[in-house]
Structure 1
Amino acid sequence: MSAVPDLRGLQEPSEDPAEMLLSVEECLRTYCVLPSEHAYVAVALWVATTHVLPAFDYAPRLVARSAEKRSGKSRLVEVVYGLVREPIRTVNASVAFIFRSLGNEHPPTILLDEADVLFGTRMKAEQNEDLRGLLNAGHQRGLTYGRVEGPSHTPTTFSTFAMALVAGIGNMPDTIEDRAVVLAMRRRKESEVVSTFRQKRDGPALAMLKDRLHDWGEVAVGLLEGAEPTMPPGVDDRAADTWEPLLAVADCVGGDWPVRARAAATYFVLATAEDEQAQSLGVQLLGDIRGAFDKLGHPFIGSQDLVTALEEDAAAPWFDMKFNPSKLGKHLARYGIRTGHTPDKRKRVYHREDFEDAWERYLPSPRTSEDEHQSPPDP
């Protein structure tokens, strides 16, 4: 196992911005295991961007999510807390508190840990719709939230623009991830060695590095005004909005950061596209299963019988994917669907009723012959 570098011995820094950003990356590597080499680049650039945010019209989100606990999300938040500009770290702060903390020319950085507590279920997401809306609107400069204040209900407009890190178990709301660099965090292997992080012991080294970032930002913010970095192929639309500040920072600090930043942007945009494709494949599976239940006309179907029914469609991908009951179960578990017992308790099967919720959420309502023959509504 390789030795872990000790940042506590950090000497008086070089004035080279590229070296400064390498120190941020080294700090991340010291305490965190991120899911790819590109992730260290993206997070280092995101940290630096918090110090020059007034130069940009977009504030990229950073999402750190995992399938299970103890995957390094909170440790990442701890380390980032010591490096970003004016962090607000919270688990359960009210939306009103966050509203009133923003609004400056250079707003603080929101670090929202354990976000699954807020967005993990449909009911929780609905209860925290204001916070989701704030995180969505705050991606772009100039988008505000209107509220009424005080006993006289005075109309008040609040700024939402700010950098934000959102960490939690499971996927965050699509509208947040669509505006973010998404890190799919994993549990650390025994061979992946990191240093323990203790605020009292390690905080001073981070504070010194943060001071360097602050001093650099005071000068760089003027240089970055109006920056329009060249985007790599395939990075467009909202992804370009998210990556524009990060690439501009990379170009500003120089060294090999412009090349590494564009490689990271390409990697994350392709990863997002692959994730969306996988989700689309899941939606196709749900639709094909609904078709199988309709065709067979049974209230429940055994796992192997369902696999066989799916493979009967030569145009579908399931046969080529070598589908089996185990693979089917893993795919359906993402939607909270699992096998149950037959009425006589002798066999485990999939019940149609257990699919109804997922079908309603992800699939269009099936058209009936009566629907197809209805006349269109009058204009």
Structure 2
Amino acid sequence: MPRVLIVEDMATYRTIIARSLAEIEDVEVVGRVSNGKKALDFLERNEVDLITLDVEMPVMDGLATLKELRKRRMHIDVVMLSGLTDQAAQLTIKCLELGALDFVLKPATSSFVENQKILVESLRQFLNNLKRRLSFRAPPRVTPRSPITRFGTPRRDTAGRPEVSPPPPAPTPKPTAPRRTRLVLPRPKIVLIGVSTGGPKALSEVFETLKGPLPFPILIVQHMPPKFTKSLADSLNKKTDIDVVEAMDGDVVKSNTAYIAPGGYHMVVMNDEDFGFILATNQNPPVNSCRPSVDVLFNSVVPFFKRGDIAAIVMTGMGRDGADSCEVLHKSGHYIASQSAETCTIYGMPKAVEDLGIQDEVIDLDQIAPFIMRLGKQTGTLGAKLWQSGSGA
């Protein structure tokens, strides 16, 4: 049963979060505190599997708390609770890049019941995923003669000799797809990326290493609400020498630029007679419960490109958004890569692709940037000239 600590400065929201968690089966709220300092004190004395951490708090805010958790090597899942302000969005992105699992928007309705209902649905998926992971962990064998502390330090018996408990069994490894690679890399004219939970941290690692110029554009769907994708794009743009922007309706697609779908909007590719390929956004119904949706973007690109002109990468995330469109891409002769299970925060979206057996390559996170740069060398200057001319493919 997951043990949850609530860290929130507003008493009303602490109550809403606690009642929301109480509606999710097999979850135990073990503590409620009002700031990060109190949370750290609580964690020194108690076992916790998940922290719901408010972004903006007095004494010690969410970002400072997360930094201290990492400094103390307390590897506990953290879900940020954020308001819908520009400042909160910027802080939340920093928290996600530091390793917070994901974030949930604080409901802002006037109804206590409605706020609670929204939080239940938002938190349920994180808790269900955590329960699955905890079910694979076998508890350490502890006997009265061999007590252990939270950090595994043996206590001494009355004779002054340490009693050492047997080590816990190794965790069950995540299933991995076969590491297969095409003998000949494609020469793509466009690269697509789909990512969700754990994405900001993963993308940060990719773009810190990614060097341009690239002879093609990169189109990215990261599941996020409005405001947050702008903050994410701004943050990534500072880490790399290629341009990273939040896409806008009507953007002309250019090489050496990464476009992130705006939160709350689907992003699609269209071909304009005057400008070549442009991006369009819409608020059509969610697909796979997502807007933006990976499937919507990936499917929109297929009609405009010849066999082998597209390379798609599916990265860490819950659910299976992107799997169906990757199957379409695969059948059309395009290249599909998925992030390896052992380097994913959540092995959901890549697993859905790999379950279909359509991936051409499984890549560790630290190899994704080198992979994209190799694709750039394969494509060469011809691709860049096509995009600069505005003719796209």
Higher relative contact order at CA 8 Å, sep ≥6: structure 1 or structure 2? 1
Which TM-score band applies after superposition, normalised by the shorter structure? under 0.3
Q: Which structure shows the bigger proportion of residues in strand conformation?
A: 2
* TM-score (normalised: structure 2): 0.27
Rg larger in structure: 1
* TM-score (normalised: structure 1): 0.28
Q: Which structure shows the bigger proportion of residues in helix conformation?
A: 1
